[in-house]
Amino acid sequence: MINKQLFHLYASRMQDINALYADLDSKDIKDYAGPLLPYCWEEQYLKSKHRLVVFGQETNGWYCDYMNSEEEIRKNIQMYKYFSLVAEYNSPFWQYAHWFNKELNGFDEQNFVWLNINKFGSDSGVGRPEQAVLDDEVRFYNLLADELSVLKPDVCLFFTGPNYDQDILRKLPDVTFHEFGGFGLREVARLSSKHLPRHSYRTYHPGYGNRISNSYLRMLDAILDDCKR
Overall average pLDDT of the 82-92 stretch: 81
Q: Residue 87 — pLDDT band, cuts 50, 70, 90?
A: low
Is 91 a residue whose pLDDT tops 90? no
**How confident is the model at residue 125, as a pLDDT?**
77
Q: 3-state SS string over the chain?
A: CHHHHHHHHHHHCHHHHHHHHHHHHHCCCCCCECCCCCCCCHHHHHHCCCCEEEEECCCCCCCCCCCCCHHHHHHHHHHHHHHCCCCCCCCHHHHHHHHHHHHHHCCCCCCEEEEECCCCECCCCCCCCCHHHHHHHHHHCCCHHHHHHHHCCCEEEECCCHHHHHHHHHHCCCCEEEECCCCCCCCEEEEECCCCCCEEEEECCHHHHHHHHHHHHHHHHHHHHHHCC
Mean pLDDT of the chain: 93
Q: pLDDT tens across 105-140, in order?
A: 999 999 999 999 999 999 887 789 999 999 999 999
Q: pLDDT tens across 2-50, in order?
A: 999 999 999 999 999 999 999 999 999 999 999 999 999 999 999 999 9
**How confident is the model at residue 147, as a pLDDT?**
98
Asked if 179 contacts 229 with a C-beta cutoff of 8 angstroms, the reply is no
